[in-house]
Chain A
Amino acid sequence: MKPSYGMISRWGVVSFADSLDCVGILARDSETLSTAFDILSVHDPADPTCVTDEIRVGLPSNDYMSLDGIRIGIPMEYFPTELDVSITEEFSKGLELLRKAGAKLVPISLPSTRYALSAYYVISSAEASSNLARYDGVEYGEHAEPDSTFNGTVGDIYALTRSKNFGAEVKRRILLGTYALTAAAFDNYFLQAQRLRLRIRADFDRVFESPNPLAQSEGGSPQDKVDYILHPSAIRTAPKLDDPSSSNSLESYMQDILTVPASLAGLPSVSIPSGSASDGWPIGISLVGQWGSDRSLLRAVMEIEKAFHQER
């Protein structure tokens, strides 16, 4: 489960991208998830982005619900060509089970989805380049000692430590992020990405029945309202360590394409195991709720689990 942004305190979490980082929970079943979530989801004054009790009291709870009558939105933009066919087939089977349980499946459109991946990588790389600037080997951590022939600036000394101790992917993101924040690129990349982020959040706000407790979004054409959104969790099964696509960054970044929009919008999302793909490896489907609906989302997940369990 990835909870709503700001539900669980980030104090103590090594920051990657502050506006995106969330503490998540992995468990075998939704009941365990719920128990763990209830314990962790409290206000912490040490984290300025952790929401106050004032906001928490008004949020939906995990009262009993049945899937009968629940409207589940299926976003049409979440079936890109890269999506493995066997995953789509499994997904459809799952939808059938939900329909049988009484859920209403509603086709919806989230038009800004196609910008989500690039917006995500610009923002997260930029923030990461900022958050990782502190790893210089001075106050703590590994330190690469310059040799006797060294003659450079403070920045050069830092570069020794950082070049040696950061992994390749980390360095890549830091460089991209640094570029995105430079004066020349700032407007075109970082600011644009933030504008897209607002649009993506507005897309979600337009389809969810309940309004976003944190902020109002504007614009866009009215759509049918839904209670939750359901989509395949990933476009393919987990790549193996020696998989050629792992070494190609762009391809590996593509893996995130379906989960990134909920992260950008700060929405809660639970990935539920749902069969396996043609290569025999497990796949999942993700249920997404409006910001702050974590508890009711977990309840719905429990019902979906039951519906799937009955059939399998």
Chain B
Amino acid sequence: MLLVSRHVRRQSHLHSLLTWSRLSRSNFSNSAAHNEQVDEFDPLNDAATPRRKSAHKKSKEKPQSVRDQWPGWNIVVGIEVHAQLKTRNKLFSHTIVAENPDIMPNERVSLFDAAFPGTLPRINPMCISLAARTALALQADIQPRSAFDRKHYFYGDLPAGYQITQNYAPFARNGHVELLKTGKQVRIKQIQIEQDTAKSLSSGSGTTYDLNRVGMPLLEIVSQPDITSAEEAGEYVRSLQAILRSVGVSDGMMEAGSFRCDVNVSIHRDGEPMGTRTEVKNLNSIKSVILATNAEVVRQMAILNAVPSSSSNSPRIAQETLTFDEDTMLTRPLRSKEGVEDYRYMPDPNLPNVLFRKDDVSSIQDELMALGMTGHGPDGHVHYGWYGTKRRLQSLLDVSAPSSSVSDVKHSNAMEHMLRDLEVLMLLDAGKTVGWDGEVENGAVAFFERAIKGDQHSTHRRDPKVVLNWMIHELLGQLTYRQLTFAQNPLSAEQLGDIVDAVEASQITNTAGKTLLRHILDAATPLASDSSTDSTHTPPSLSIQSLIDQLGLAKSRSDTDLEEWCQRAIDELPDKAERVREGKLNVINALVGRVMKISKGAADAVSARAVLATKLGIQLQDGKSE
């Protein structure tokens, strides 16, 4: 386990997600107490986060309520996220964005990006579409009319001396983020579209600027101050990342710079008005979001605690902008600005209003439906993105809440297992690459839904619960064992479906099915490196039926085969056979195992047991001997 977590740390992209599922798979084979262990491996956690012993311990304990942690104090946190939209062109210029992040500085800069005189903006409609997808995924109200304003300030990273943003009339208002773990809803204030600035690099001799990033489209998502702790802040960021990835609008990766957070923190004692809020900027990982929030709370608390609140000389928190120093683990003020800066917002006279009416909303909704990103909740309400997919799968799997009644314990356990499998499926799917311009690659969920479908000729649909079970417990495990990511899976959805069909139809045993699956993985593995990620192609030689014949896996209907196999097993394991004859009935299982091996899983275990018992002249407990 330790070895793997080191590996996780080194990986800096979202395949760490698949590593999570690899780890969780091995957990699943153990007891139900693994729930706590699951918390340790936060799926969307920054891969760069080192696993500190103390943090690990904390997650194992029941989380303290915030009120216990800071008695008498209320912590109020709001978060502003800037997420870069993954479009092929920039927001207002047709500069082609580099697909390879390792390009030279200032290579993807047009005259407009560099603010040359005589240039004018040209809006990229893809940015509006992706913003609309995001608004739907966050249940926000897309405004029929929104407009662009100029925000003026002088700084090295802003060639034009102003940033085009949406101050007076943002693209969407309201909405909420449902936290993945706790389900708590954090309200969104607004979503606006704006330009990104240049990337600055401080060196000894000064600062240099790379304009590749200037003019990239950003979505600024502003939350209401509903967050009440540092951990919740981290959870909010994780959840928002997942949601944005789930509608294919952004990579949502903090280290890579496509997802940035500013945290606003204020504290106040019970019964008192809200405190002054400070802003902590330049947070580039979830870990630092959590640590910085905590550090700021502690700093503010120390100032306010120094003098009792009743005193007329009570110290005030200065409204300032801070940065978080990872070395000292403290927040400190950024280069001081005199008071609050006046950005002199002016409507941009070059850009027309963005009109987004009911028809436009409908067409985005249809697009999301076609991409498999929608689902209905139990109340009939439509959800998009992460929650849409989740609800769709839940209704597909006919998942009801785990029952509390004693008689339903078995059903309840099964339900819990399924919910967990569903979680794994969702997270596996979340690891798929986000395409450019909102294009979507097929991930684990698409695979799952395809595997359920059955072939186009038959009207029967496979039992989703069975398929899910095969996918999560067998396929995933075998991939992990072969150190393959889900993206490298060579088994097609059709093949999995056919295996399930064969097992369910009793054509082959469960064990034979597993053998079949492993065979296909083994056969295809040398090809896996040069094949595309499209796992839909079924080479004729790998059709399930032909493989069953080829490997002789069909459940034997003839008793003669079974007779032969059982006799062989007895012959091969004379000691074990003797012990069974002597009365050590449990040892018969070893013989059954040998029969299965000899028959390559084709034998029916129950019948084999009975035949063996007869041959060995013993009476089985359940009286099944002929």
Could you list which residues of chain A lie within 8 angstroms of chain B, going by C-beta atoms? 10-15, 17-19, 45-49, 126-127, 130, 132-134, 136, 138-140, 153-155, 158, 178, 181-183, 186, 190
Contact = CB atoms under 8 A, between A and B. Distances in A.
B144 interface: no
Contacts of A190: 346
Interface stretch (B13-21, B97-105, B115-123, B444-452): B115-123
Contact of B349 (A11, A18, A136, A139): A18
Given A126-B346, A140-B116, A154 B152 contact: no
Nearest to B106: A139
Contact of A178 (B160, B335, B344, B345): B344
A138 B161 contact: no
Choose among B119, B120, B161 the residue with the greatest number of A CB atoms under 10 Å from its CB. Answer: B120
B118 A12 contact: yes
Contacts of A133: 152, 154, 160-162
Contacts of B152: 130, 133, 181
A133 B163 CA distance: 11
A15 B117 contact: yes
Contact of A139 (B116, B120, B350, B352): B116
Given A133-B160, A155-B155, A186-B344, 17 more contacts: A15-B117, A15-B120, A17-B349, A18-B349, A45-B122, A46-B122, A48-B121, A48-B123, A130-B162, A133-B161, A134-B117, A136-B154, A138-B156, A139-B114, A140-B114, A154-B154, A190-B346
Interface string B142-159: 000000001010111001
B154 A48 contact: no
B118 A11 contact: yes
Contacts of A134: 115, 117, 159-161
B154 to A, nearest CB: 5
27 contacts: A15-B117, A15-B118, A15-B120, A46-B120, A48-B350, A130-B152, A130-B161, A130-B162, A130-B344, A130-B346, A134-B161, A136-B154, A136-B161, A138-B156, A138-B159, A138-B209, A139-B116, A139-B159, A140-B114, A154-B154, A178-B344, A182-B342, A182-B344, A183-B342, A183-B344, A186-B344, A190-B346
Choose among A11, A126, A134, A178 the residue with the greatest number of B CB atoms under 10 Å from its CB. Answer: A134
Contacts of A49: 120, 349-350
A186 B119 CA distance: 26
A154 B123 contact: no
A48 B162 contact: no
B320 to A, nearest CB: 17
B118 A127 contact: no
A48 B352 contact: yes
Closest 4 CB pairs of A and B: A133-B161, A181-B344, A19-B349, A134-B115
Contacts of A15: 117-118, 120
B23 to A, nearest CB: 47
A13 B118 CA distance: 4
B317 interface: no
A138 B159 CA distance: 8
A97 B500 CA distance: 97
A127 B154 contact: no
How large, as a class, is the contact surface on chain B? 20 to 34
Contacts of B120: 10-11, 15, 46-49
Contact of A154 (B118, B150, B155): B155
Interface in B178-217: 209, 211
Contacts of A12: 118
B169 interface: no
A139 B155 contact: no
Interface in B72-128: 114-123
B216 to A, nearest CB: 17
A190 B122 CA distance: 25
Contacts of B116: 139-140
B118 A130 contact: no
B351 interface: yes
A140 B159 CA distance: 10
Contacts of B351: 48
B346 A154 contact: no
B146 to A, nearest CB: 16
B386 to A, nearest CB: 35
Contacts of B115: 134, 139
Interface string B333-353: 001000000101110011110
A12 B112 CA distance: 11
Nearest to A141: B117
A15 B115 CA distance: 11
Interface in B303-359: 335, 342, 344-346, 349-352
B362 to A, nearest CB: 24
A5 to B, nearest CB: 11
A15 B118 CA distance: 6
A164 to B, nearest CB: 16
B155 A127 contact: no
A134 B209 CA distance: 15
Nearest to A17: B349
B533 to A, nearest CB: 37
A137 to B, nearest CB: 11
A158 B154 contact: yes
A43 to B, nearest CB: 13
A155 B346 contact: no
A178 B152 CA distance: 10
B352 to A, nearest CB: 7
A140 B350 CA distance: 23
A174 to B, nearest CB: 11
Nearest to A184: B342
Contacts of B346: 126-127, 130, 181, 190
A14 B117 contact: yes
Contacts of A182: 342, 344
Nearest to A162: B154
B175 to A, nearest CB: 28
A46 B351 CA distance: 12
Contacts of B118: 11-15
Contacts of A126: 346
Nearest to A49: B350
Nearest to B116: A140
A130 B344 CA distance: 9
Nearest to A181: B344
Nearest to B156: A154
B325 to A, nearest CB: 21
A130 B150 contact: yes
Contacts of A158: 154
A19 B351 CA distance: 10
Contacts of A130: 150, 152, 161-162, 344, 346
Nearest to B118: A12
B160 A18 contact: no
Choose among B119, B123, B155 the residue with the greatest number of A CB atoms under 10 Å from its CB. Answer: B119
Nearest to B337: A153
A155 B335 CA distance: 13
Contact of A18 (B161, B345, B350, B352): B350
A17 B118 CA distance: 12
Contacts of A181: 152, 344-346
A126 B152 CA distance: 12
A285 to B, nearest CB: 30
Contacts of A45: 122
Nearest to A50: B120
Choose among B119, B150, B160, B344 the residue with the greatest number of A CB atoms under 10 Å from its CB. Answer: B344
Choose among A11, A48, A127, A186 the residue with the greatest number of B CB atoms under 10 Å from its CB. Answer: A48
Contacts of B162: 130, 133
A90 to B, nearest CB: 37
